[in-house]
Structure 1
């Protein structure tokens, strides 16, 4: 199989889909790897490193897309890439279809095979290809919140760490999964008072056991959420329903409860965001203000720490990618239930039900076993 890795085109996206080590793994398994010239520069990887790993460097994205059987990326195809996709071409990347109807319809029309990192799910419920980026985004969340609490950046001018005689910030984390737990740890490390909400008693019990003493796990309901929003200086949105649109837990009317100059960091924006007022932003224009509340909704947060993120992601994606390349996507999905959950589309039909439900496309959905 020919594996292709184009340069990412999203705003300030410096990650790349393959490291040289991953490229070597494909080559050693008997596959051909082509990489767009300069694709790894943003992650500190040179073309020479890819060549040393056995990959071939091509001058343009068009060459990579037109010759590869399987495209390995980081972010979803953007409009400038739509015409590069080919029928029956396998694309292995983050898609987040439920947050983007245009992308969903385009990929259906192009009849690609879409394997989405974010829905590959092991039997224990873990999301191994989402986890490394959730860890980075979670650890970034309170740092970004702290930065935008600064008065020059639109915030209230509160230092989250506090100082002797002045209290630290109150940080509210909504969701106790990978993003939420990492955000809570960093917030606690800053010295803030951190409240983390979740609806799972099992998750709350685990958080109680592993979190520092300035982290307070609470059961999430509407009353508790509203009470905590009133006190919060930073709110981290960390809600996830794998592959599905994120529920809007923070409503527009809730902003009136919040302090002027407080900050929402909506890490869930990839799947639509958990605040009703959230909309995707970019690293070059990361924030906007609604009703006095600063919103940070960058849809590719880990791209800011691209070298760490690229290597963390590739370390995890390569094992599933090799199964796809060695066996073909159909056999690989039949033999690996975790990987089968990552197959969101197959040659013009939707094979992951939450994507179909997000846009009322149930008529285009077929169970996986019917198509492979």
Structure 2
């Protein structure tokens, strides 16, 4: 099997799909690896690192696709994939944005190209192949701090009040960041009561259950608590995210409040979310989303992502994928 690694083309993306040490693992398993020049530069891995690991370096994306049986990326390329040279049975591994790119994925399948989406990997599967969980652990904390910096300076002279929607890996990471910043214990909303112990184990918080994804209690909690920051991280893997913050909820927030929506690619928890953009509402509420929060920690995120990528490739090569 020949594995190709692309240089990322998405805006502000600094991660790489495979780090040199995992290239060595694939080569030791009998595979060949082709890497596009500059693929690991922003994560701290220059081309010589990949050459030393045994990879062949090529200049363009087309030169990655031409010999590859499998191409790995972090985020879908911005160029038209159907224009790339391809071998029969080509497989694409990475985040696929399956909700917004459903038509393109179907078109590629009609051309004989299969897409393996990390967004859809089951939580019951091998944890080492779960890139979404690995990235969520990083994204929640980075997003909390990024949102906190958008709060007006006069509000940050005291510990801020926050509301975390979702108690999965991203929500728990946001909770940990709130404690690290010395802020008030957040209100954390989960969809199952049995999540309480795992969440509270990370530190003090007010854990609340909203099993049906109903926005009405969220509105009441906003009116009662007046949070400065809301982190939206409520989603079910492979499904559209529930809408939890409607216009009434945003109107109930005070001027200068910030909403960071981590799940815009799954439809978003907030009615005002625009993917990869920051919106300022008429009432002065800031709603922001970035699809690459983990890329703000490119080396750590690349190592974690690469571990999942190599595990997935080995599964596919063994016929178990």
TM-score calculated relative to the size of structure 2: 0.90
Q: Which residue of 1 aligns with 2:301?
A: 309
Are the structure 2 counterparts of residues 142 and 85 from structure 1 closer, same or farther at C-alpha, using a change threshold of 3 Å? farther
Are the structure 2 counterparts of residues 90 and 125 from structure 1 closer, same or farther at C-alpha, using a change threshold of 3 Å? closer
Q: Which residue of 1 aligns with 2:162?
A: 171
User: What pairs with 1:43-122 in structure 2 (closer than 5 Å)?
Assistant: 43-84=43-84, 86=86, 88-122=89-123
Q: Output one character per residue of 1:122-162: Cα deviation in whole Å (capped at 9) or x when no partner.
A: 437968221110011011121011111135xxxxx421x61
Q: Output one character per residue of 1:95-145: Cα deviation in whole Å (capped at 9) or x when no partner.
A: 121134454444344441111112222437968221110011011121011
User: What pairs with 1:224-263 in structure 2 (closer than 5 Å)?
Assistant: 224-230=217-223, 231-263=226-258
- In the alignment of these two chains, the number of paired residues is 312
- Cα distance in 2 for partners of 1:309, 1:4 equals 19
Q: Secondary structure at the match of 2:49?
A: helix
Question: What is the aligned-residue RMSD (CA, Å)?
Answer: 2.0
Q: Which residue of 2 aligns with 1:133?
A: 135
- Cα distance in 2 for partners of 1:288, 1:90 equals 37
- Cα distance in 2 for partners of 1:33, 1:212 equals 44
Q: Which residue of 2 aligns with 1:42?
A: 42
Q: Secondary structure at the match of 1:260?
A: coil
Q: Output one character per residue of 1:266-313: Cα deviation in whole Å (capped at 9) or x when no partner.
A: 0112322111111111xxxx5221232111201111112211110111
- Could you tell which deviates more after superposition, 235-244 or 252-261? 252-261
User: Any unmatched runs of 5+ in structure 2?
Assistant: none
User: What pairs with 1:328-347 in structure 2 (closer than 5 Å)?
Assistant: 331-333=319-321
Q: Output one character per residue of 1:218-253: Cα deviation in whole Å (capped at 9) or x when no partner.
A: 112544311222311100001121111212111133
Q: Which residue of 2 aligns with 1:367?
A: none
Q: Which residue of 1 aligns with 2:10?
A: 10
- Cα distance in 1 for partners of 2:229, 2:85 equals 40
Are the structure 2 counterparts of residues 85 and 261 from structure 1 closer, same or farther at C-alpha, using a change threshold of 3 Å? farther
- Cα distance in 1 for partners of 2:222, 2:84 equals 45
